[in-house]
Amino acid sequence: MTRTSSAPAVTRTSSAPLRSPVAALLAVLLAASGVLLGAGGAQAAGYRYWSFWEGDGKSWAYATQGPSLVRPDDGTVQGFRFAVSEDSADADRPRHAPDFGAICADTPAKGGAKRVALVIDSGTAEDAPAGEKPPALRTACAQVAPDASSAEALASVAKPLRYDSSAMICAISGYPESGCGEQVSGDGSKKDGSGKPTDAASASSAPAADDGDSGGGPSAGLLLGIGAVLLLGIAAVFQARRRR
């Protein structure tokens, strides 16, 4: 007697129909993320401006306050550097040692006054505005009243100075002839229609990045947008699996 097996046949559902839409969706999400990240990188740009520095005798440190707010002590060394940079971390330092003794060697101390050594570095031709040539780097020993600010010390040796409405230094000794902290593209050319940076530290020379962006990296809003796109994609994948 022949027995016929009654075991039910196993039905296998192919996952190929599901994998194709999911793979396509992930590819679209990755492409969208790449476009968003690329857009964030494309926004990176620098600013052409005078930065303000404080010396300790050996090295330079980016000033945390603007020259109109700082009231240096006698024997202080301060520097100004004109260049294109994205922010304070990217800024070029003055190309001269902050050596008070050497800079003020020919300026004897005098009662009722203080001496402030200044390094004024107009930068390189690469950072200069179109049609302008940067003056040679120079040093000066300003002898000013004991309560004078750094801006007053600078004005005593490097006129004419030019400021904007927010007290940002636009020109030292007349350089540059025009412009003030303008945004420039990666090749150093000025961007049309770009907003001028605002002052980050109340009359400081340092421009702040536009719209809260921190220089060249993606902004927080951009990262949130990428995260939202990825979350929507994951939700769509799970929904597709549930329907299957």
Tens digits of residue pLDDT in 77-89: 999 999 999 888 8
Q: How confident is the model at residue 213 (pLDDT cuts 50, 70, 90)?
A: very low
User: Quick one: tokens of 134?
Assistant: 């940067």
Q: In the beta sheet, which residues pair with residue 77?
A: 55, 117
CB 79 within 8 A of CB 121: yes
CB 205 within 8 A of CB 217: no
Q: Has residue 49 got a pLDDT over 90?
A: yes
Q: Name which residue leads in pLDDT, 32 or 54.
A: 54
CB 82 within 8 A of CB 180: no
User: Quick one: tokens of 8?
Assistant: 């039910």
Q: How confident is the model at residue 176 (pLDDT cuts 50, 70, 90)?
A: very high
Q: Compute CA 1 distance to the chain's CA centroid, rounded to the nearest angstrom.
A: 90
**% of the chain residues with pLDDT over 90:** 54
Say how far apart CA 235 and CA 222 lie, in whole Å.
Answer: 20
> How high does pLDDT run on average in the chain?
77
At 76, phi and psi to the nearest 5?
A: -80, 150
CB 232 within 8 A of CB 240: no
Angle, to 10 degrees, between the axis of helix 220-243 and the axis of helix 16-42? 170
pLDDT of residue 10: 46
Q: Name which residue leads in pLDDT, 40 or 92.
A: 92
This prediction's pTM = 0.64
pLDDT of residue 198: 39
Q: Has residue 128 got a pLDDT over 90?
A: yes
Q: Name which residue leads in pLDDT, 124 or 221.
A: 124
Output the DSSP codes for 53-72: EEE-SS-EEE-SS-TTT--P
Q: How confident is the model at residue 187 (pLDDT cuts 50, 70, 90)?
A: low
**Average pLDDT of the residues in 216-231:** 55
Q: Has residue 166 got a pLDDT over 50?
A: yes
Within a 10 A sphere around the Cβ of 22, how many other Cβ atoms? 15
Q: How confident is the model at residue 24 (pLDDT cuts 50, 70, 90)?
A: low
pLDDT of residue 197: 44
Say how far apart CA 173 and CA 159 lie, in whole Å.
Answer: 5
**Average pLDDT of the residues in 121-149:** 97
Q: Has residue 146 got a pLDDT over 60?
A: yes
Say how far apart CA 176 and CA 235 lie, in whole Å.
Answer: 55
Say how far apart CA 209 and CA 213 lie, in whole Å.
Answer: 5
**Average pLDDT of the residues in 170-199:** 71
Ranges 31-40, 143-152, 233-242: which has the least confidence: 31-40
SS3 state of residue 79: strand
**Average pLDDT of the residues in 47-56:** 97
